[in-house]
Chains A and B, each alone.
Chain A
Amino acid sequence: MTDDWHPTASIETLRERSRLLARIRAFFTERDVLEVETPVLGHGGSTDVHLDSLCLAATTPAGCERLWLQTSPEFHMKRLLAAGSGPIFQLARSFRNGEVGRRHNIEFTMLEWYRPGFTLDTLIGETDALIRHVLPSVGPCRQRRYRDLFREALQVDPFTTPLGTLRQLAMQHGQIDMMESERDACLDLLMSVMIEPGLGRDGIDVVIDYPASQAALARRRYDPEDGVEVAARFEVYINGLELANGYHELTDAKEQANRFDEDNRERERLGKPPVDVDRRLVAALQAGMPEGCGVALGLDRLIQLVLGKDSVADVMAFATPNA
């Protein structure tokens, strides 16, 4: 007889979770944002170099095909936007291979929403309002520039400091060999070890103006104050926990296709398998997706925060090791 049939969350926690989900749905309904459901399986996957997708062989009308479990509902939701859906939100099961820990589970729930016509600032405001809607006690929200965070914590400029200095700092603070590492890897390490743990300690910290090289599917813009290109992207932190990631969405089909190809070339260079690209997303952008912003929020983490739990497994009926 094994004992591991038990849920990883208590029944009381699952009741709380259900109440929170209802509150979140009410928040969007009140704002006339349409709830949608999009497929978990798609012909394209995320090419993001730092995400590992799960794929499987499926029998479809087209024969045996390779389908990808979505790492987020982004591509399908953008296709809805291009088809004229207007503002939409989704509570979507998402899958990221290899991500396991106190804050990670391979299968998790993403709360993702898109706001045609919103600026990044307006969407930051709405994200703040949503969090406050379920966590009223949270402290004030402030925006922190990526560059300033590095200057304050490490007295270096992440955009201009020579790579050698960044490597030294990463090795010193991370106790890790980074001699061969690229600039973004060093910045990621320093962000994880030296900056993230201190973010969101007195409220909500929203990090903005990321390096252009970390744009993912966000637009890049020239920042006149810094004299460099930055990514029009934000990340939301509470208690050192990264909660949400928002973009001023890329709508240029050609640029999107280029980023997919760049990603796959980089994957090849790193010895990672290439990912089938979602050509239908590129076609949708070509047809025209309305200008706007979108954000993805880790729902399990938000619930973890609201209920004061130590690990995402504590708020999931069955975390992957027990599933």
Chain B
Amino acid sequence: MANYSTNEFKGGLKVMLDGDPCNIVENEFVKPGKGQAFNRVKLRNLITGRVWERTFKSGESLEGADVMDLEMEYLYTDGDMWHFMKTDGSFEQYAVDKKALGDTEKWLKEQVAYTVTLWNDNAISVTPPNFIELEVVETDPGLKGDTAQGGSKPATLSSGAVVRVPLFINQGEVLKIDTRSGEYVSRA
């Protein structure tokens, strides 16, 4: 991979740091008065998801990381691994382990497209679509006529996620959920 110097750093650039692939979130050039210039850089470790704040002397460089975001459809799980297939028509499949899947496990639905991040051709993380439609498999019975504001209750969705929903929602209904906040948006 190519090396990138601090003046090429920008949001979205994938670089290697301490052996892990990272995504540059923010890069700020700082220079005190007459002194030496530095770059204050925020990077998201793509393996752990944690954000690191590091400083580099301007002009230093980091090795690029061979990281790709690909759209893939979720197929099935065999219990150990979760299987996804590229949506580009190649039918190429990738197996994702539990660690890489992380929190996305509770938003899985067959035939929905997810963003799978590959590092050196191995899946390291899976990002769900921002909104997903899921069926309510368990919740207290809905309160008839209560479509007004106020009150919520937990509902278990087909993917296993538990979200707060309005009191009027019934078992068997399909809901639109924001996966970033884990919040109910509307009936689908």
Contact = CB atoms under 8 A, between A and B. Distances in A.
Interface in A175-228: 175-176, 184-185, 187-189, 191-193, 196, 210, 214, 216
Interface stretch (A32-40, A99-107, A156-164): A99-107
Interface stretch (B26-34, B61-69, B135-143): B26-34
Interface in B1-37: 7, 27-37
A274 interface: no
A176 B32 contact: no
B33 A98 contact: no
A214 B56 contact: no
A50 interface: yes
B158 interface: no
Nearest to B52: A175
**Interface hub of B33, B36, B37, B57 (most chain A Cβ within 10 A):** B33
Nearest to B33: A235
A301 to B, nearest CB: 12
A185 B37 CA distance: 9
A297 B35 CA distance: 16
B55 A189 contact: yes
A242 B37 CA distance: 14
B35 A184 contact: yes
Nearest to B39: A101
Given A176-B54, A189-B55, A103 B34 contact: no
A192 B30 contact: yes
A38 B54 CA distance: 41
Contact of B32 (A98, A99, A188): A188
Given A100-B7, A174-B55, A175-B54, A189 B38 contact: yes
Interface in A68-111: 98-104
Contacts of B30: 101, 103, 192-193, 196
B55 A175 contact: yes
Nearest to B7: A98
Nearest to A234: B33
Contact of A185 (B29, B31, B36, B40): B36
Contacts of A104: 29, 31
Contacts of A53: none
Contacts of A50: 31, 34-37
A48 interface: yes
A101 B58 contact: no
A187 B7 CA distance: 22
**Interface hub of B34, B54, B59 (most chain A Cβ within 10 A):** B34
B53 interface: yes
A210 to B, nearest CB: 8
A98 B58 contact: yes
Nearest to B56: A176
A96 B188 CA distance: 55
A261 to B, nearest CB: 18
A185 B57 CA distance: 9
Contact of B55 (A102, A103, A193, A214): A193
B11 to A, nearest CB: 13
B31 A192 contact: yes
A184 B36 contact: yes
A245 interface: yes
A104 B58 CA distance: 14
B35 A188 contact: yes
B45 to A, nearest CB: 13
B32 A196 contact: yes
Contacts of A187: 35
B34 A245 contact: yes
A184 B33 CA distance: 12
Contacts of A216: 34
15 contacts: A48-B34, A50-B34, A98-B59, A99-B37, A100-B7, A100-B29, A102-B29, A174-B55, A176-B57, A184-B35, A189-B55, A235-B33, A242-B32, A245-B33, A245-B34
